[in-house]
Amino acid sequence: MDFVINAYALTLVISSTLVLVLSLFIGLKLEESVRWIAFTMISLSVWGFFYGIELTQSEVENMLIFTKLQYTGLVMAPACWVMFALKYTGFEEKAKKWVFPSLFILPAIIFLIVITNPLHHLHYRDNWLITSGPFPLLGIEKGPLYFLQVVYSYVFYLLGTLIIWRRFEFANNHFKLQTRLLILAGFFPLFINILYQLSWLKPYEGLDMTPYAFLFTYIFLAIAILRFNLLDLKPVARDKILEAMTRGVLVFDHRKKIADFNGAAKKFSSNPEKIFLGQHASVIFEERPEILKLLDQSEPKTIESHLTGTSEDTFIKIESLPLRDRGPLISGTLLLFEDITSEIQINEKLKKQTAELQQLNDLKDKFFSIISHDLKGPIFGVKELIHLTQSGLVSEAEFLSMLPEVSKNMEHVAILLENLLAWTSSQLRGEYVQPQKIDLHKLVSSQKNLLDRIAKDKSIEIAIQGFENTWVMADKNMLELIFRNLISNAIKFSNPSSTIEVTCQEKGDRLKICIKDYGLGITEENLKKLKEGISFTTRGQSNESGTGLGMILVKEYLDKNNGTLQVNSKEGEGTIFCMELPAWNESLIKS
């Protein structure tokens, strides 16, 4: 077997060897999913190398040996190209495990046909030696199965190229450059082969220029991969990075069309179906002009917005970053979306807690003021009265005449002291609720009897109505304090010789209890404070004092007993407090 060196053969052998070395280096450098481009290049280098050796031969038998060796690379290259395209664009092998192995079935069949051709002559009908050129070439008469190999190669190369093009049609500039180079690597050699098959590009009869086109194209591609890190960040890796981000990412080009996005971006849109590559921003944000304005900004900007159309209120922070390739010209805009709902809720909670702490501090200040004034005054007054009586400065008759007033003051002190103790208990260690079945008529009558003495001093009648056979599920001590405070307040602000109406009516599984007085009423300012749970005090009709703790306890205890409170008042006409409590039934005991 003689080897006659010529320029065409030498060019193929050298370029094939160069591509093989570069391919091996690339295969070691890149990760598995992008490594298939190296396998494609290795297959083509095998084809080119043995075709170059074929061109050094002068006998048909020797040429056919190297032709068969060429086909080991020639039939593998298209399948490797499709494998690369699928891996490069992130095809999930787990979804369809049969796809990858099936790509190599047809190449194996074609290779088997080629090496067994002497038995059937379906690939090459005949072979002869062409001596009309500067060196011997192999002449072939194509058999019917030869075109199977041609169609397979064209279809697979075009399929791989189409997969890459479809995936990155609207990609950013970095991936557009990659896509163009890869499409060139897939399409240009095919174009040369088409010219060869049509006999439009044959410097000499029998000389195929396709290996040259493949090898020189892939030398250029290999240099781009190694020198410029062309495939360092493959799209599937970039996709995984984007998908791992909790922030939504939308990339718009200079025409305000989507060039890239991640899955999280759809979560921040009320119309996620409108987000796809090539979609114009005006369609996505047609009802959000504040976001559209961000795309016109030349400097980074951040806004906060409220996302509507979702099951829960969502607050988002939107950050715009103008994209510049080189110089001042803006090539696009990057929008970053971040869910700040939790942050806002935490801030609101902190503000609320700060306000509550301030309110608590104010109450504590008032607490000490009450102890030093409202409690100290009456108690020291009684102490001084006893001392004066014992000293003989106050006669027994005078002492007895003062007792009704002292008794009335002690009633107020008792209520005040009870409220103080209850409030202190709830603030220091919370309040343990012990719900039980309570006869509401008995409880209200008991509280009426306790407060009748104070009411009679102002000629006020306490009328109760509708409490027959009414039972509630609540904590007894808390409920007593609620009624005691509401009725004593009604007495305090009622006009003399008026009536306080305490009524009850059923509302399904709840009882509505109202306490209505005809007195001073509550100002709008104080009514607002009352509804917001802010402590305040006002003097009664007879200049009675208060602490402001009573209503706070009423609201707190009603909440703890699954109750509600409504207040309606009109200055100069009176006030009505209506509370609702769960009526007693067997199911409440079981729950």
Q: Which domains does the chain have, with CATH numbers?
A: 7-235 (1.20.1070), 245-339 (3.30.450.20), 343-430 (1.10.287), 433-591 (3.30.565.10)
Share of the chain above pLDDT 90, in %: 22
Average of pLDDT values for 485-509? 90
What span, in angstroms and rounded, lies between the C-alpha atoms of 485 and 481? 6
**Confidence (pLDDT) at 160:** 86
Least confident segment among 53-57, 323-327, 586-590 = 586-590
Least confident segment among 76-85, 147-156, 261-270, 369-378 = 369-378
**Confidence (pLDDT) at 116:** 94
Instruction: Give pLDDT tens digits for 248-288.
Output: 888 888 888 887 788 788 888 878 888 887 888 989 888 88
Mean pLDDT in the chain? 81
Higher local confidence (pLDDT), 315 or 94: 315
Average of pLDDT values for 470-493? 88
Average of pLDDT values for 382-390? 82
Least confident segment among 327-336, 512-521, 536-545 = 536-545
- pTM for the model: 0.46
Q: Is the pLDDT of residue 110 over 90?
A: yes
3-state secondary structure of 27: helix
Q: Which residue type is seen at 232?
A: D
User: 182: pLDDT confidence band, cut at 50, 70 and 90?
Assistant: low
Least confident segment among 14-18, 367-371, 392-396, 571-575 = 367-371
Q: CA nearest 495: which of 526, 447, 450, 461?
A: 461
- Radius of gyration (C-alpha) of the chain in whole angstroms: 47
Higher local confidence (pLDDT), 193 or 77: 77
**Confidence (pLDDT) at 168:** 61
What span, in angstroms and rounded, lies between the C-alpha atoms of 6 and 313? 77
Q: Is the pLDDT of residue 591 over 60?
A: no
**Confidence (pLDDT) at 544:** 60
Residue 3: how many other CB atoms lie within 10 Å: 11
User: 117: pLDDT confidence band, cut at 50, 70 and 90?
Assistant: very high
Q: Is the pLDDT of residue 310 over 70?
A: no
Q: Is the pLDDT of residue 233 over 50?
A: no
Least confident segment among 187-196, 295-304, 550-559 = 187-196
**Confidence (pLDDT) at 560:** 87
Higher local confidence (pLDDT), 277 or 39: 39
**Confidence (pLDDT) at 90:** 67
Least confident segment among 8-12, 178-182, 461-465, 519-523 = 178-182
Strands 124-130 and 137-142 come out as antiparallel
User: 239: pLDDT confidence band, cut at 50, 70 and 90?
Assistant: low
Q: Is the pLDDT of residue 543 over 60?
A: no
**Confidence (pLDDT) at 254:** 81
String of DSSP letters for 466-517: S-TT-EEEEEHHHHHHHHHHHHHHHHHHBPTT-EEEEEEEEETTEEEEEEEE
First to last CA, the chain: 99
Q: CA nearest 493: which of 580, 382, 567, 402?
A: 567
Do the beta carbons of residue 54 and residue 130 sit within 8 Å? no
Q: CA nearest 81: which of 169, 189, 8?
A: 189
From the number of C-beta atoms within 10 Å of its C-beta (0-12, 13-18, 19+), residue 130 rates as: middle
**Confidence (pLDDT) at 541:** 59
**Confidence (pLDDT) at 243:** 59
Do the beta carbons of residue 487 and residue 548 sit within 8 Å? no
Do the beta carbons of residue 331 and residue 176 sit within 8 Å? no
Q: Is the pLDDT of residue 316 over 50?
A: yes
Least confident segment among 125-139, 313-327, 480-494, 566-580 = 313-327
Packing angle, helices 476-493 and 440-457, rounded to 10: 30
Do the beta carbons of residue 232 and residue 215 sit within 8 Å? no
DSSP letter for 75, please.
Answer: T
Percent of residues in the chain assigned helix, strand, coil, to nearest 5: 55, 20, 25
3-state secondary structure of 115: helix
The continuous run of DSSP H or E covering 145 comes out as: none
What span, in angstroms and rounded, lies between the C-alpha atoms of 263 and 383? 78
Do the beta carbons of residue 548 and residue 535 sit within 8 Å? yes
Residue 403: how many other CB atoms lie within 10 Å: 11
What are the angstrom distances between the C-alpha of 522 and each of 260, 454, 473? Answer: 62, 21, 30
Least confident segment among 424-428, 473-477, 548-552 = 424-428
Q: How many residues does the chain have?
A: 591
Q: Which residue type is seen at 76?
A: M
Bridge partners of 250, per DSSP, are: 261, 335
What span, in angstroms and rounded, lies between the C-alpha atoms of 511 and 439? 12
Share of the chain above pLDDT 70, in %: 80
**Confidence (pLDDT) at 539:** 59
Do the beta carbons of residue 281 and residue 295 sit within 8 Å? yes
**Confidence (pLDDT) at 514:** 96
Residue 269: how many other CB atoms lie within 10 Å: 19
Strands 330-339 and 248-253 come out as antiparallel
Average of pLDDT values for 106-114? 94
Q: Is the pLDDT of residue 540 over 80?
A: no
Q: CA nearest 495: which of 566, 551, 565, 575?
A: 575
Average of pLDDT values for 392-419? 77
User: 219: pLDDT confidence band, cut at 50, 70 and 90?
Assistant: confident
**Confidence (pLDDT) at 439:** 93
